[in-house]
Structure 1
Amino acid sequence: MQNTRLFTRSTLRTVARPQLLRIPLATQQRCFHPSTAVTAPTVTEALTEDHRELETYYNEVVNNPNDHDHQQRYGNQFTWELARHSIAEELIIYPAFEKYLGQKGKEIAEKDRGEHHEVKLFLKTFQNMKPSDEDYIPKLQTLWKNLNQHIKEEENDDIPQLEKYLASDHNYTGVSESLAKSFARTKMLVPSRSHPSAGEHPPFETVMGLITAPIDHIADIFRKFPDKKISPNPSTK
């Protein structure tokens, strides 16, 4: 009888004792490896990516002079990307210059807005042309000459000044990434064709953009774009 009581108490203690699940240290480390973290893009990365895409689309048009279908598709892609990129910069990036860089930032923003306006005028002409038009490629080359100079100034001077200032104060940690995110979101809502002055001096020109954007997006459905490229529906970008 005594042996039975001892066996019962021993069994109860065994059952009641919590069982610890032992996981090998190496497995625990793999579960939380820092290399799996995804870093959000900065303003520099977001704008540079767009610039390289525009350069790719431009080259596809000018390097295929005998393939009008190919030119039409990439010409539309070029227009679609440049129109959205330009207005998103004017609504998000240029106000950031003015906010964080003071008077110097205002001067940069005004200079860039003026350059954008010239490019938009060229783009408005180009977007209504056909590859069979005699001036189709020359017009695009003139546009690109102006745009490429603007891109170089942005990448080599304007954006680095903004990034340097944001990096100089811990209170601005994450601002570059936040601006890049807002820039990408804005591109979903703005026009995909050139409308000179739209977005150049918010908030008034922004109204024009919001009015024309839905019309542009619907018309994009009926335009030709490169196969296996991003959809002309800006909500997928």
Structure 2
Amino acid sequence: MLRITPFRSLKPALSSPRTFTTTTILQARILPTIKAEHSKLRDEYKKIKSAANSDEKDRWRNQFSWDLARHSIGEEIIVYPQFETHLPNGKEMADRDRAHHYEVKVSLAKVQDMDVTSADFDPELDKLMKSLENHIKEEEEHDLPALEEKLSIEASDDLSGKFERTKMFVPTKSHPTAPDKPPYETVVGMLTTPIDLMRDMFKKFPKEARK
């Protein structure tokens, strides 16, 4: 069992920023790891939709945006290259998933900074979630199971750990025009992440969601 102490953002006195808490990464294969994240994103979406007031809605929107941005880039940097390496149609599969991500990123770029009381907010959020659900279905039912068949348990565990660690250092906002393939995505991400973290310092997040 590997204990990771991730990067923490600075804490100004005037705000309570989004921070990476110390996390224990248990060994798990990549498919259940990704499926657990998908489930978390669905739950956060439901919390936005069922929020009792605009403050609660804003907090859960920020959490959802933060998690989805990191999840998407983590997949592009760590998981999709594995499709290309191990699967006969892996490049086609990875390119299709990157195209799905682009649709999600475009909607997320609007949702992440939109006033949650705007009449346009819920329709844009629902549009984002519809695109995301279509992508999730493809990944969980086809792409990731195909990859799992080609990986040993140890290799899948290692891939899962790399995915989790990578999310600690990638942008926390959607940047649809940024590169979506390593190494350029990795370089741009490392430059963009500090700027995103500075912006996070002035946003509010759910108190019960600490990672």
TM-score category, normalised to shorter length: 0.7 to 0.9
Question: How far off its partner does 1:42 sit?
Answer: 0.7
- TM-superposition CA deviations, 1:64-96 (whole Å, max 9, x none): 3x5101110000000000000000000000001
Q: Would you say 1:82 and 2:82 are equivalent positions? A: no
Residue pair 1:46, 1:180 contacting (<8 A) in 2 also? yes
Over aligned residue pairs, what C-alpha RMSD do you find?
A: 1.5
Aligned partner of residue 127 in structure 2, secondary structure: helix
* Structure with greater contact order relative to length (CA < 8 Å, sep ≥ 6): 2
**Relative to structure 1, is the Cα distance of residues 40 and 81 closer, same or farther in structure 2, using a 3 angstrom cutoff?**
same
Q: Would you say 1:195 and 2:181 are equivalent positions? A: no
Q: Percent identity?
A: 44
Question: How far off its partner does 1:202 sit?
Answer: 1.4
> Among 43, 51, 64, which residue is 2:38 paired with?
51
Question: How far off its partner does 1:210 sit?
Answer: 1.1
Dislocated runs of 4+, deviation >4 Å: none
Aligned partner of residue 87 in structure 2, secondary structure: helix
> Among 81, 97, 107, which residue is 1:112 paired with?
97
**Structure 1 counterpart of 2:195:** 215
2: distance between equivalents of 1:116 and 1:131?
23
> Among 165, 174, 178, which residue is 2:154 paired with?
174
- TM-score by length of structure 1 reads 0.76
1:27-106 mapped onto 2 (5 Å cutoff): 40-64=27-51, 67-102=53-88, 104-106=89-91
Residue pair 1:57, 1:78 contacting (<8 A) in 2 also? yes
**Structure 2 counterpart of 1:21:** none
Question: How far off its partner does 1:218 sit?
Answer: 2.2
2: distance between equivalents of 1:107 and 1:80?
28
Residue pair 1:87, 1:199 contacting (<8 A) in 2 also? no
Q: Which runs of 5+ in 2 are unaligned?
A: 1-24
Q: Would you say 1:156 and 2:141 are equivalent positions? A: yes
Residue pair 1:198, 1:206 contacting (<8 A) in 2 also? no
1: distance between equivalents of 2:135 and 2:98?
10
**Relative to structure 1, is the Cα distance of residues 180 and 198 closer, same or farther in structure 2, using a 3 angstrom cutoff?**
farther
- TM-score by length of structure 2 reads 0.85
**Relative to structure 1, is the Cα distance of residues 201 and 91 closer, same or farther in structure 2, using a 3 angstrom cutoff?**
same
2: distance between equivalents of 1:198 and 1:47?
23
**Structure 2 counterpart of 1:19:** none
Amino acid at match of 2:63: Q
Number of residue pairs aligned between Structure 1 and Structure 2: 187
2: distance between equivalents of 1:77 and 1:53?
11
Aligned partner of residue 169 in structure 2, secondary structure: coil
Residue pair 1:91, 1:199 contacting (<8 A) in 2 also? no
Q: Would you say 1:224 and 2:204 are equivalent positions? A: yes
Q: Which has the higher helix share?
A: 1
Q: Which runs of 5+ in 1 are unaligned?
A: 1-37, 167-171, 231-236
**Relative to structure 1, is the Cα distance of residues 160 and 130 closer, same or farther in structure 2, using a 3 angstrom cutoff?**
same
